[in-house]
Structures are given as C-alpha cells and as structure tokens.
Amino acid sequence: MSRLTLALSLLVLALAVLSLVLGPADIPAAEGLRALLAGGEGPVPLVMREVRLPRMILAIVIGGSLGLAGAAMQGYLRNPLAEPGLVGISGTAALGAVLTLHTGLAALWPLALPAGALAGAGLAVALVMTLAGPRGGSLTLILAGIAISAMAGALTSLVLNLSPNPYAANEIVFWMMGSLADRSMLHVWLALPLSLLGWAMILPLGRGLDALTLGEDAAGSMGVSLTRLRWLLVLGTACVVGAGTAVAGAIGFVGLVVPHLLRPLVGARPSALLGASALGGAAMLLAADIAVRLVLPERDLKLGVVTALVGAPLFLHLIYRLRKEGL
C-alpha cells in the first residue's frame, strides 16, 4: 500500500513538472523553472507564475478531488458506476456556477461562484443519494443520473442562450466538457479552500466505508453511524465537486476510471482506495491536461473530451460485466 502511494506520488510529481515546462511559448525548461522559483522581471516569470503554475495546481486539486469523490461514492453506494460526472453532480454544479455568473452575483462577491457551484453539487448529491439509497441498484442510480444531468445541461444552455453577451452561448461547451486553459491564481484561491474542506470531510470516512462493505447492520454494530457517514459524504462530495466545477467546468469520468484501475491494487478496501484514488485522479487530470496541450494546442481542446475518450469505453465494459453478474 505504501509502495503504491509512493509510486503514485512520484507519478504526480513528474507530471506536474512536465506540465510546467510544456506550453505554447518556447521557454527552455531550466530557464522556466528558475524563473518560477526565483521570480524577477520580464515575461518568463510572468508566464510561469501566472499561466502555468495555476494550471498545474488546479489539475492536481481538481483531479484529486474527482478521484476521491468517485472512490467515496462507490464505496458508500457499493456500486462501481457511481461517479460525480455521470450521476449529474458536476453538471448541476456547473448550473449553479453559471447562474451566479449570469445573475451578476459572482461580480458582486467573488465567493458567490464557488458557493453557487457548491449549492448545485449539494442538491444533486442529496438527490442521487435519496433516489438510489444505500442499497440502490445500478439501474436506479443511472436513471437518476441521466435525469439530473439532462435537466442541469438543459438549464445551463438556457441560461447561456438568454445572456445578452454574444460569447456566452459558446461557453456551453466549456461548462459541459471542462478546461483549465487561461486560469489564474485567483481561480486557485477560489477552489482550494473549499476543496481542502471537502477532503477533510471525506478522507476520515475510510474506516466507516470499510465497515459498510460487511453490510449496514454489521457496520452499525461496529459503532459506525450511518447518518453521520452519509452527511459527511454528501457535504464533502458537494464541496470538492463544487469547487472544481466552479473554476474548470464539469469534467467527467475521472472519478470512474481511477478507482476502477486502482481497486485491484489496494485489495478492494475502500479506506485504502480513497487516498490512492485522490493521487491517481491528480495524475490522470495532469496527464489529460498535458495531452490537450500537445495534441491540439491551438484549438483549446476540452479536458472532458480526453477523459471521456478514456472513460466511456471503460464505462461500457463495467455495465457489461455488471449485466453478466445479473445485477
């Protein structure tokens, strides 16, 4: 387990450095890193500190959040299909963010943006948990997810289409697919506190989730309060997904792919999976963000395109396997 943590941490570190030295401006790697650390005058420190650094930090924070939220939801619902993007939590968070932006609330009070996304995400998590319930089958979960996603997507498009700004309608793609292009440190400060709060709520849930694998009655007899567990999970997921979506749009499939890949390596223990999935999610989003910059640097390819191309086949594979198991 600790070997896996070490390996994943090294992977995240390597990808983070790679993410800092790659970009459309031709800056030699050594010069760029020196400017990043030492600062100074001129355009190079500006590029490193204001363009590439926030992008790298956000990829780690948001990727980690999505991986963690995916692992926690799958542990609680005991269903490998649970994932913030698929069940509509990211989409509803995007709707909340779009509403605060286009009502002008976000301009009056900067924290309104993550707060709106948080409210949207919280509403969706609560709805999914209620509809699917701790024993809910895959079918209920997916149907609830489809309904919530469709509703959130339609309302997001509606708000953006009604905006007087001619560019607003083009943003539908951003909110539905997600991107880290041209984010600044301001966005890091908007997303980071809420994400940390969410992590603090979710990470200690490992023991309770482990107990839950034995069934609800067994978990209850081991002193795990299911009500408390559910509340922390709902709030924590809302925090991390809301914070991430507010600044980067809805990025799907990270929370699905990462726990699925790591589960065999940690021996199917939810507690071990939580931390590993956070690291894995950070690595996956860093890699996806590097990929969008390498493949089509001029086109602002959306992150969700890459994650969905990786994630959707896996999703189909999961459904196929669940069907064989007769669920």
Partner 1 sequence: MNVCTDQLAMMLADPGQLLSVSAFATDPRMSSMPEEAAAYRVNHGRAEEIYTMRPDLVIAGAFSNRQSVDMLRRLGVEVVVVEPAYGLDDVPDRIREVGRALGQGDRAGRMARAFEERLARLRSGRDDGLRAALYYANGYTSGGKTLAGQILQAAGFRNVAEEVGLSNGGTMPLEVLAMTAPDAIITGRPHAGAARAEAILDHPVVRALRAESADMVVPDTDWVCGTPHALDAVAALREARLALAAR
Provide the minimum distance between the beta carbon of 25 and partner 1 in the complex, in angstroms, as a whole number.
4
The vertex-255 CA angle with 237 and 239, nearest 5°, equals 20
Task: For the CB of residue 16, give the shortest distance to partner 1 in the complex, in Å.
Answer: 17
In the complex with partner 1, the residue whose CB is nearer, 47 or 202, is 47
Residues 6+ apart with CB under 8 A from 206: 270, 271, 272, 274, 275
CB of 298 to partner 1, least distance (A): 6
Q: Are 84 and 242 in contact (CB under 8 A)?
A: no
Q: Assess contact for 53 and 185: CB atoms under 8 A.
A: yes
Nearer to partner 1 (CB atom), residue 34 or residue 78: 34
Smallest gap from Cβ 168 to partner 1, in A, equals 5
Q: Which is nearer to partner 1, 159 or 262 (CB)?
A: 159
Residues 6 or more apart whose CB falls under 8 angstroms from that of 107 comprise: none
CB 90 → partner 1: shortest distance, Å?
16
Q: Which region, left, alpha or beta, applies to residue 146 given φ > 0 means left and ψ of -120 to 50 means alpha?
A: alpha
CA distance 77 to 174: 29
Q: Which is nearer to partner 1, 26 or 325 (CB)?
A: 26
Residues that bind partner 1 (CB under 8 A): 23-27, 42-44, 46-47, 50-52, 101-102, 104, 106-107, 163-168, 170-171, 174, 182, 184-186, 297-300
Q: Which residue number, 124 or 301, has a Cβ lying nearer to partner 1?
A: 301
